A and B are shown apart, each in its own frame.
Chain A
Amino acid sequence: MSYPLQIRNLVKRFGGLVATNDVTFEIEQGQSVGIIGPNGAGKTTIFSQIMGEIRQTSGTIKLYGEDIGALSTSDRIRRGVSRTYQVPRPFSDMSVVENIRVGLMPDSIWQMVIRSPNRDREIELALSVGFAETDLQRTPSELSMGDLRKLEMARTMATNPTVMLLDEVFAGLTVGEIAQIAALIQQMRKDGMTFLIVSHDLKALEPLVDTAIAINQGGIIAQGQFGDVMANETVRSSYLGTA
């Protein structure tokens, strides 16, 4: 059986610093896994390696059984894995729908020229993440952090992923915005999306995940049901810095 995402012995060194220390885990189809850990533990680094933004020092990354470790970021996205970023990176001079348009584009210049944008799909995606009709023409400078996160999710969804990596998607949001995004994620889970979610906000994270992986200093210190991981002594002291 091929897992949507399978990581084996992932290692990343920056000179003398070991940022990712022999990380191994897999995610099953439709599962939602939370990644927790203190600041600087290396959670985002793992994401970056999965997406190919950073080249791993050693280890394998498999997407549905295929080794994607040597592929470019855009190739990996074409194969179904996509992520959001801690700091949203929208296209500053484009409207909400135009932003989504970029996510919907085929990676072929010929196709870009001869086929028009799918405006219905753009609007559909924008509305699905919670934008109102009046928001569609607004530009990033007019949007709140919550809206920017929603935009990023819409653009990520536009690439039609089967595995979604969410990096600190709740940071800096109001309670209402958190509820909105949480509802969106729950809906996508129902529709069968596989998730890997990094979050500091453990309260918001708990209802959204099936299992959790705790990371400290680049390595996995606990895996399993969310409650069990949270009760783990090593995990608790890692947050307090006494590990």
Chain B
Amino acid sequence: MGLRWYHFVLWAAFIGGMFMLPEFASKGTLRTIIFANFLAIFAISWDVLSGRTGYISFGHPFLIGIGAYTTAILTKRFDVPVEYSIPIAVVVTMIGGLIVLLPALRIKGSYFALVTLAYMELMYQLVQVIRPDLTGGTRGISGLTTLTRGAVNGYYMSVSLMLIIALAMWLLMRTRVGTALSAIGMNEESVRGSGLSPTRLKFFAFLTSAFIAGLGGAFYVHYLGSIAPRALFEINFAFTIIVAALIGGASTIIGPIVGAFFLTFLLEFLRPILPGAERYFVYGGVALFLYMYQPKGLYEIFMRGWAKLRGTRT
């Protein structure tokens, strides 16, 4: 895996820093960071599949939603304890996602993007009308078990989850699986021509992505304590996740995290100035501009700057 001493140092600093944050930040900031942590989880989930292989998924809210609704329904309607409902939710997300998206994975990347887009719309319609007794219909479900109380505990839960996922994915992507998935994004035909099965690799990436999405969705809904279809199955949510991963830097792990934090704070910053959906105008514009200037995101901008600095040093 090629781990060097500075990898350990950077990770230790990162983890340590994140854990010490509550000493310095206000409750309000902490709540914002909690949201950023969850967005980072979703962005990492998206990036593992779409950022690497180029199979752009607009359906991540779909996967997150399955995880969220499964645990919500199990705990609220069937009194299943949270320790069971969350793992079940993750499995259901993986299976559900697979059933629905497997046919599309086998084919060209563009079709995959289209199909995920269509499914998102479908889920939005369906969840409001199918068994509203279970799903709570248009209004959703409220009064769910919350795992933590208060901003600080919520922060620790979200940051632990985020760090565990980030570290695990970072390690996984440093193996040859990461190389293979990135290769698919560059030239899928050549991957096949190298004796590998792209379909199996995409399958694996998808399952991993769904695992994280389901896990994140389940924890998220138990942090919020409620769930509503409008917030979940919305194109803006998909957009936010995708932009977070891209702006930060796709195909990396730190990229989606950076992007998620950048976006969350940008949105908070814009909130008093542009309260409504107009914020998306600014931040979409920023996203578009950044993406066209440097499609590899802030991570690349940083790395190049760093390389330049070191270059002038020697």
Contacts and interface: CB of A to CB of B under 8 A. Distances in A.
A and B, direct touch (CB closer than 8 Å): yes
Interface of A: 51, 72-74, 77-78, 82-83, 85, 89-94, 98, 101-103, 105, 107, 109, 112-117, 155, 158-159
Interface in B179-229: 179-180, 182-183, 186-187, 189-197, 200-201, 204
Interface in B139-189: 172, 175-177, 179-180, 182-183, 186-187, 189
B171 to A, nearest CB: 9
Given A90-B187, A116-B1, A159-B195, A109 B179 contact: no
B176 A101 contact: yes
Contact of B194 (A51, A77, A115, A117): A77
A102 B177 contact: no
A113 B176 contact: yes
A10 to B, nearest CB: 20
A117 B176 contact: yes
Nearest to A155: B194
Given A91-B190, A109-B204, A115-B176, 4 more contacts: A94-B183, A102-B180, A105-B195, A155-B190
A89 B193 contact: yes
Chain B, interface SS category = helix
A92 B193 contact: no
29 contacts: A82-B193, A85-B193, A89-B193, A90-B187, A91-B186, A91-B190, A92-B186, A92-B187, A93-B182, A98-B179, A101-B179, A102-B180, A102-B190, A102-B191, A105-B176, A105-B194, A105-B196, A107-B200, A109-B177, A109-B200, A109-B204, A112-B177, A113-B172, A113-B175, A113-B176, A113-B177, A117-B179, A155-B194, A159-B194
Nearest to A85: B193
A89 B172 CA distance: 26
Contacts of B190: 89-91, 102, 155
A74 B200 CA distance: 11
A98 B187 CA distance: 14
Nearest to B2: A116
A113 to B, nearest CB: 5
A116 B1 CA distance: 6
Question: For A72, A78, A92, A109, which residue has the most chain B Cβ atoms within 10 angstroms?
Answer: A109
Contacts of A109: 177, 200-201, 204
A71 B141 CA distance: 50
Given A74-B192, A89-B187, A116-B1, A107 B177 contact: no
Contacts of B189: 89
B172 A102 contact: no
Contact of B192 (A73, A90, A155, A158): A73
A113 B183 CA distance: 16
B186 A93 contact: yes
Nearest to B196: A107
A105 B197 contact: no
